[in-house]
Structure 1
Amino acid sequence: MIDLRALTKSFGSNHVLRGVDLVVPTGQSTVIIGGSGTGKSVLLKCILGLVEPDGGTITLDGQDVREGDRDAFLARFGMLFQGGALFDSLSVWQNVAFRLLRGSLQRPKDEAREVAIEKLRRVGLSPDVADLYPAELSGGMQKRVGLARAIAAEPEIIFFDEPTTGLDPIMAGVINELIREIVTEMGATAMTITHDMTSVRAIADRVAMLHAGKIRWEGPIAEMDETSDPYVQQFIHGRAEGPIETLR
């Protein structure tokens, strides 16, 4: 569904993406792994058009993402942001229904609220949470609200940016399970960036490792542990010794 070819992006002298080639198959969950600062978030932003790449191509269903109706393009995506990114001044249901209250996807307010409450239920939150504000929620509840917002408009493609950051191991497991269930139910194409190997094993169909601005390895999750690539082996086992430089 998403095809990246020779994608490059630099910020001054910092060459973040140095020729990324990656195919994200339709209806599968692809997880991008790699250390902090390797360009995972920049990669997502390039696909969404939030950052303009310096070179290369990005196609969605064979069409260049820079062509055609941008609103229609973005309407195909849902996004779970790393920090939740909820609007403090809006109630929970208004956060979930944000895209349904404006723009090309706009629905009547009552209908948008019903959809929001339905999606909150899907992520394990009761209807009485709908009228609370983000500041009244725990970190885990905020992450669930962010997930409900990501799926509210029934997107074809969902991006997850470090979905378990800041969560305790139990809540992280709950979020991983929800992501896996929802992606499967919706038949959505999912792309996740994370350095949490527990999340990788829970939600990935395919894994790609981004290092030094390029995809070092890519393949089915079942082949990840068996690969001989030293970068992948060092990363997935958290070893201090190996080709990936660490600060001492």
Structure 2
Amino acid sequence: MTHPMIEMSDVHKTFGSNAVLRGIDLTIARGTSMVIIGGSGTGKSVMLKSVLGLIPQDSGRIAVDGKSVGSGTGSAERDAFLARFGMLFQGGALFDSLPVWQNVAFRLLRGSLARPRDEARDIAIEKLRRVGLKPDVADRLPAELSGGMQKRVGLARAIAAEPEIIFFDEPTTGLDPIMAGVINDLIREIVVEMGATAMTITHDMTSVRAIADNVAMLHGGKIRWTGPVAEMDHSGDPYVEQFISGSAEGPIEAVR
């Protein structure tokens, strides 16, 4: 039996009096790219962190490849679970004091994925090439790079350990439209090449159209609509229609 790569069933999460996830149901098939859309503060990041097991849900089930998240209790099991994931963080999240190649090879220099230092460096340089950066970037510090280059380094790090699942958190935030397009194209190419399962959270509709196989609209702690990206413009869902159009009129209230 082939399981969905990621499955969330009636997942709830509350922080104090703030109910962030209110019964999330979502399935992401193996090797597909799912993009979660929704406004700021709607729980997109909480969903992502819940799948990683960083935030335990209050109720409901989250499974990765058929196995419930959090079911493994040992550190070795936890390491093996996290080794299946790669992550491109919203702000890049590069280590300022480490040269670029050590940022890219961070997971390859420690823990269960550790490789010899020379091998890790070679892999880092190859991944930098894959995202369009020359080898001479490897020994520079992140502060010496432009925002677009830093984002590429973050992408190289996300794929360095050949993960099965890659998460992208607002991958084009802070980039100009041209560089955002470059990053979107790279993400799509790399996900297809690797056969990885991708989960992206964004409010950038250009990214959605470039990256997604399927789209899910999150609002008020629930998935309001999900379907193929080709059906998004004709979803018939008022939440999706308002979000795409950017209209002030509709079920999504603008926060003032």
Look up the match of 1:224: 232
SS of alignment partner, residue 38 of structure 1:
coil
Q: Is 1:239 aligned with 2:247? A: yes
Which of 14, 21, 43 lines up with 2:18 in the alignment? 14
Which of 49, 54, 57 lines up with 1:50 in the alignment? 54
SS of alignment partner, residue 225 of structure 1:
helix
Gaps of 5+ in 2: none
TM-score, scaled to structure 2:
0.96
CA–CA separation in structure 1 for the residues paired with 2:84 and 2:37: 24
Look up the match of 1:75: 83
Look up the match of 2:37: 33
CA–CA separation in structure 1 for the residues paired with 2:17 and 2:255: 21
Residues 19-67 of structure 1 show CA distances to partners (whole Å, capped at 9, x for unaligned) of: 1000011000000000000000010001111111111111111111112
CA–CA separation in structure 2 for the residues paired with 1:95 and 1:61: 28
Percent identity, aligned pairs only, is 79
Which of 112, 124, 139 lines up with 1:131 in the alignment? 139
Residues 73-96 of structure 1 show CA distances to partners (whole Å, capped at 9, x for unaligned) of: 100000000000000111000000
TM-align CA RMSD: 0.6
Which of 6, 18, 21 lines up with 1:2 in the alignment? 6
Q: Is 1:177 aligned with 2:185? A: yes
Between 61-70 and 200-209, report the one with greater CA deviation: 61-70
SS of alignment partner, residue 114 of structure 1:
helix
Report 1:192-203 matches (<5 A). Answer: 192-203=200-211
Gaps of 5+ in 1: none
* Count of residues in correspondence between the two structures: 248
Q: Is 1:102 aligned with 2:110? A: yes
CA–CA separation in structure 2 for the residues paired with 1:228 and 1:106: 49
Structure 1 stretches of 4+ with a deviation exceeding 6 A read: none
CA–CA separation in structure 2 for the residues paired with 1:23 and 1:236: 22
Look up the match of 2:159: 151
Counterpart residue type for residue 13 of structure 2: K
Counterpart residue type for residue 88 of structure 1: D
CA–CA separation in structure 2 for the residues paired with 1:61 and 1:153: 19
CA–CA separation in structure 2 for the residues paired with 1:148 and 1:62: 28
